[in-house]
Amino acid sequence: MAETADAAEQIIDESERLRANVYALLARFLARPPDQATLAEAAGWAGDDTDFGKAVSRLAKSAAGADPKTVKEEYEALFIGIGRGELLPYGSYYLTGFLNEKPLARVRQSLRELGVERDPANKDPEDHIAALLDVMVGLILGTFRGGADLAAQKQFFDDHIEPWADYFFKDLEKAKTADLFKALGSVGRAFMAIENTAFEMA
Amino acid sequence: MSKRDKDGTSNRRDFLKLAGLGTVAGGAALVSGVKPAKADGLRADGSQGYRETEHVKTYYKLARF
């Protein structure tokens, strides 16, 4: 074969694409306040009877009734605040009690090994939950070098997400300043459980 | 591919299909919303954005000892 494999042409199984979708949706809600378009999209989702589906339905219902300005305030209260939000969605914080700790160094090391550079416009540490979820999208779709490698996904998930993400999503479900984001927490928890189980089948 | 590998893979696929992940897809709409990297390596979905750069790979290759 003369040409090198183009990641965009790699055949990704539909069920794997669906995982990437969910990671992308979680990342979108957590990276910045969800905008009108995102809320409108979420409002259209119809969950089925699974734990995940029921959580999605709750999120859709919240999104349908949501005013983007209010959601922005909710996001800021949760994650920004004055100095800090109610929650600190960083691996270092959940794993050590402090920001910018060894878990962040380990994420950076993994990113180096993957040959991945962070968009320099983004100032947030790479162990922010949205950043980690974003990496999973890239790993699943094969946009980083090495293509769509399930073992690499499992490695990254086990090293940097699994140890703390469920605790974070649980905190989100219970957060005082959360409303719509409670439902997002539920979606996150349900999805993390699915990922854990599915990786065992890899 | 051994029979065991084949069964393992189809179990995973079946499990994922039954897990309800498609509920956020709404058909083709959301799948198309998650795009592979554009030519310049920047992701199109508006989240944090990772990219792979030649100079980064070279740097880290040289730094390894």
Q: Do A134 and B50 touch (CB under 8 A)?
A: yes
Instruction: Please say whether the beta carbons of B34 and A108 come within 8 A.
Output: no
Residues of chain A with pLDDT under 70: 1-10, 145-146, 202
Instruction: Please say whether the beta carbons of A10 and A147 come within 8 A.
Output: yes
CATH number for the domain spanning A79: value is 1.10.3480.10
- Helices B3-18 and A180-200 pack at an angle, to 10 degrees, of 170
Domain annotation covers residue A2: no
Choose, out of A9, A12, A18, the residue to mutate when testing the contact with B (most B CBs < 10 Å): A18
The confidence score (pLDDT) of residue A70 equals 98
The confidence score (pLDDT) of residue B24 equals 85
A135 touches chain B (CB under 8 A): yes
The confidence score (pLDDT) of residue A118 equals 77
Q: Which two tokens stand for residue B58?
A: 């070279």
A112 touches chain B (CB under 8 A): yes
- Residues of B with CB below 8 A from A194's CB? 16, 19, 21
Domain annotation covers residue A9: no
Band of the pLDDT at B57, cuts 50, 70, 90?
A: very low
Domain annotation covers residue A85: yes
**Domain, as residue range, for B7:** 3-63
Measured torsion, CA atoms of residues A37, B30, B45, B13, in degrees rounded to the nearest 10: 150
Domain annotation covers residue A11: no
pLDDT for B16-35, tens place per residue? 988 989 888 643 334 333 33
Three-state SS for A151? helix
Question: Model's pTM, two decimal places?
Answer: 0.81
The residue type of A117 is E
Give dist(CA A144, CA A159) in Å, integer: 18
**Residue range B40-58: mean pLDDT, rounded:** 45
The confidence score (pLDDT) of residue B59 equals 43
Select the residue of A47, A124, A130 nearest B23 (Cβ to Cβ). Answer: A47
Domain annotation covers residue A10: no
Domains: count for chain A: 1
**Domain, as residue range, for A124:** 18-200
Rounded to the nearest angstrom, the minimum Cα separation between A8 and chain B is 6
**Does position B62 have pLDDT exceeding 70, yes or no?**
no
**Does ipTM surpass 0.90 in this model?**
no
Domains: count for chain B: 1
